Structure 1
Amino acid sequence: MGILTSAAALVVVVPCGAQNSWAQEQGKELRQQIVGAWSLAEQWVEQDGKKTQRFGANPKGISIYEVNGRFASILLRPDLPRIASNNVMTGTVDENKAIVQGSTAIYGRWSVNEQDGSVSAKIDGSTYPNWDGLDQKRTVSISGDEMKLCVPGAQIGGTACAVWKRVK
Structure 2
Amino acid sequence: MTLKISVLTVGAIMALSVCTAAFSAMKSPLVGTWKMVSATIERQGTRSDAYGPNPHGWLVFTEELTFVEVLTDPRVPAFRSNARGEGTDEENRAAMAGSIGFFGRYTVDQNGEFTGNTVEGSTFPNWVGATRTQDDLQLKVDGNRMVENFQRPDGTKVHIIWERVK
**1:34 partner SS:** coil
Q: Contact (CA 8 Å) 1:136, 1:151: kept in 2 or not?
A: no
RMSD of aligned C-alpha atoms?
Answer: 2.1
**1:108 partner SS:** strand
Going from structure 1 to structure 2, the CA distance change for 1:151 and 1:114 (only over 3 Å counts) comes to farther
Q: Contact (CA 8 Å) 1:30, 1:114: kept in 2 or not?
A: no
Deviation readout 1:63-83 (Å, 9 max, x if unpaired): 000011000000000112111
Gaps of 5+ in 1: 1-27
Q: Provide TM-score, normalisation by structure 1.
A: 0.75
**2:33 partner SS:** strand
* Corresponding residue of 2:87: 91
1:164 aligns with 2:153: no
What amino acid is the match of 1:150? Answer: N
* Corresponding residue of 1:24: none
Note the C-alpha offset of 1:49: 2.8
* Corresponding residue of 1:155: 153
Going from structure 1 to structure 2, the CA distance change for 1:83 and 1:103 (only over 3 Å counts) comes to same
% same residue? 28
What amino acid is the match of 1:42? Answer: S
Q: Which structure has the larger Rg over C-alpha atoms?
A: 2
Note the C-alpha offset of 1:29: 8.5
Q: Contact (CA 8 Å) 2:106, 2:114: kept in 1 or not?
A: no
* Corresponding residue of 2:141: 142
What amino acid is the match of 1:140? Answer: L
Q: Distance in 2 between matches of 1:76 and 1:133?
A: 22
1:40 aligns with 2:9: no
Q: Provide TM-score, normalisation by structure 2.
A: 0.76
Q: Contact (CA 8 Å) 1:80, 1:98: kept in 2 or not?
A: yes
1:109 aligns with 2:105: yes
Q: Distance in 1 between matches of 2:110 and 2:71?
A: 26
Gaps of 5+ in 2: 1-23
- Count of aligned pairs: 139
